[in-house]
Chain A
C-alpha cells in the first residue's frame, strides 16, 4: 500500500530537481501551473521521472488532469494500488 506522504516527499524531490523550488513549497493543494509556475515541458519531465521513481505509468492523456500536486499524489497512489 503506497503511503501518500512518501509519494508527496518523492514528488517534491523530483520537482526540486527540475525547477529548484524548495521541497516544502510542494504541497498537496498547490497547482503545478498557477502556484508552482511549472511549464508543460517541465511537467512532462516531472511525470517521466515520477513514473520511474514510483514504477507506475502515467498516460499522456492523464497528465492534463493532474492540475494539483494532490491530484498527482492520488493518481500515483491509486496506480500503485
Chain B
C-alpha cells in the first residue's frame, strides 16, 4: 500500500522575492532577477562575467546575528526558506513526533564562501585565526543538519548532492523516506549561495555563463536563438512533504500531491548532456510511472532550461520522446529566465513554482524569449501567465546536473 504524499507548506528566498507570495507574484508577471554585481572583487579579479541574480532579501535581515555568524550563507538561505515553509504548513502550531520528522535538504556546492574565506584566513593570518566553526559551515550537509536542529527533526537528515539536479533529487529522497515509513513529515528543499569570484571564474572558464554584461536583465533567455549561457543565481526553496494521512489528521491545507519522482544517470559525459537525451527521457518516463500517471495527464512542465546553447535542446528531445504528441498540449515555463540558475536550489524553487501553478491553475511566464529557436517547438508561456485547464492534472519539474544527473518530479492537483 503506497502512502499518498502531499505538499503542505512552501518557503523560498530568491532573486525575485524573499518570500513565497512575492516570488509567485513576480513569477506570474515576469521579473528579471539578474543585476550587475556591486562587489569590489568583480573589478579586482577582472571577472569576465560581471552580473548575477542575488537574493532580493539578505538573510542577515531575517536571521539573528549569532545565527549568521555560525552558518555559511548557503545554510542561512536554506534556514530562511525552511522556517517559512514550516510556518506556512502550520507546523509551528502542530504536534509532530520528532522521530517521525525528517529533513532532505540539498545543495550543489555547499559552503563555498566559508571554505574559500577560511583558506584566505589561513594564508593571511595563520591557523589560529581559522574559525572553529569552519567545518560545520563548509560541509554540504550543513544546511540539512542545521535545519534538523532548528526543527528538532530526528527521523534522519539527508543531503542530495547532484549539482544542478540536487533540488529535485531532495524531493525524490523525501518520497523514499515517506513511502518507506521512515517519517510522516519531511522538510525538503535545496539551497545555494555560490556567487563568489571562484565559481564565477570557473563557470566562465567552461563557457557556461552568459556574457551579456551590458544587459543582465536580458541575459537569461532559455529557448531564444540568442541565448549564450546561464546566469548564476542564489537562493533556497523549501517544501513540506507529508503523508496525506498525517496532513488530513491535523487539518492541514494541501497545495498539491507529490505524486512521484525518478532519478537516472547518463554515463555519457561528465558535463555535456547526451544529445539523444536518453537518460533524461528515462527519468521523465520513470517519474510518470512512479506517479501512476499517463502522458495524457500532463498539462505543464517547469523546464530545466538554463539558457545555455547546448543544454536546452536535449531537454526538448527528452520531452518529445517521453510525451510524444501530448507535448503539443503541454505549456512550458522556463523560470530560470527570471530567477537565474540557482544550481542546487533550482529544482526546489522550480518544484515550488510547479506546485503553485497546479494550485492556482496558472503557469509562470518565461521572459526574454524574442526569437524562439526553431529546433525547440515548445509551447512556452510568454507575455503573461497561462491559465491551466480545470480538472485533475499532472505537472512535471525537470532538473539535470553536471555528472550526468537527471531528476524529474511529478505533482498532481488535489
Nearest chain A residue, comparing its CB with the CB of B136: A41
Are the C-beta atoms of B64 and A41 separated by less than 8 Å? no
Are the C-beta atoms of A18 and B66 separated by less than 8 Å? yes
Listed stretches A4-12, A23-31, A44-52; interface member:
A44-52
Q: How large is the interface on A (under 10, 10 to 19, 20 to 34, 35 or more residues)?
A: 10 to 19
Would you call B133 an interface residue if the criterion is a C-beta within 8 Å of the partner chain's C-beta atoms?
Answer: yes
Report how far A35 CA is from B21 CA in the complex, Å.
42
What 6 A-B pairs have minimum CB-CB distances, sorted nearest first? A20-B66, A44-B132, A41-B132, A19-B66, A45-B132, A20-B64
Would you call B65 an interface residue if the criterion is a C-beta within 8 Å of the partner chain's C-beta atoms?
Answer: yes
Report how far A19 CA is from B129 CA in the complex, Å.
18
Would you call A55 an interface residue if the criterion is a C-beta within 8 Å of the partner chain's C-beta atoms?
Answer: no
Report how far A22 CA is from B146 CA in the complex, Å.
24
Q: How far is the CB of B305 from chain A (nearest CB, A)?
A: 42
Are the C-beta atoms of B133 and A17 separated by less than 8 Å? no
Nearest chain A residue, comparing its CB with the CB of B125: A52
Fill in one digit per residue for B158-195: 1 if any A CB lies within 8 Å of its CB, else 0.
00000000000000000000000000000000000000
Could you list 13 further interchain pairs (A-B, Cβ under 8 angstroms) beyond the known A17-B65, A20-B66?
Answer: A17-B66, A17-B69, A18-B69, A19-B66, A20-B65, A41-B132, A41-B133, A42-B132, A45-B131, A45-B132, A48-B131, A48-B132, A52-B129
Fill in one digit per residue for B62-75: 1 if any A CB lies within 8 Å of its CB, else 0.
00111001000000
Would you call B128 an interface residue if the criterion is a C-beta within 8 Å of the partner chain's C-beta atoms?
Answer: yes
Q: How far is the CB of A30 from chain B (nearest CB, A)?
A: 17
Are the C-beta atoms of A48 and B129 separated by less than 8 Å? yes
CB<8 Å pairs between A and B, sample of 15: A17-B66, A18-B66, A18-B69, A19-B66, A20-B64, A20-B66, A41-B132, A41-B133, A42-B132, A45-B131, A45-B133, A48-B128, A48-B132, A51-B128, A52-B129
Report how far A42 CA is from B132 CA in the complex, Å.
8
Fill in one digit per residue for B50-66: 1 if any A CB lies within 8 Å of its CB, else 0.
00000000000000111
Which residues on B sit within 8 Å (CB–CB) of A18? Answer: 66, 69
Q: How far is the CB of A19 from chain B (nearest CB, A)?
A: 5
Report how far A45 CA is from B65 CA in the complex, Å.
15
Which residues on A sit within 8 Å (CB–CB) of B128? Answer: 48, 51
Which residues on B sit within 8 Å (CB–CB) of A45? Answer: 131-133
Which residues on A sit within 8 Å (CB–CB) of B129? Answer: 48, 52
Report how far A11 CA is from B131 CA in the complex, Å.
18
Which residues on A sit within 8 Å (CB–CB) of B131? Answer: 45, 48
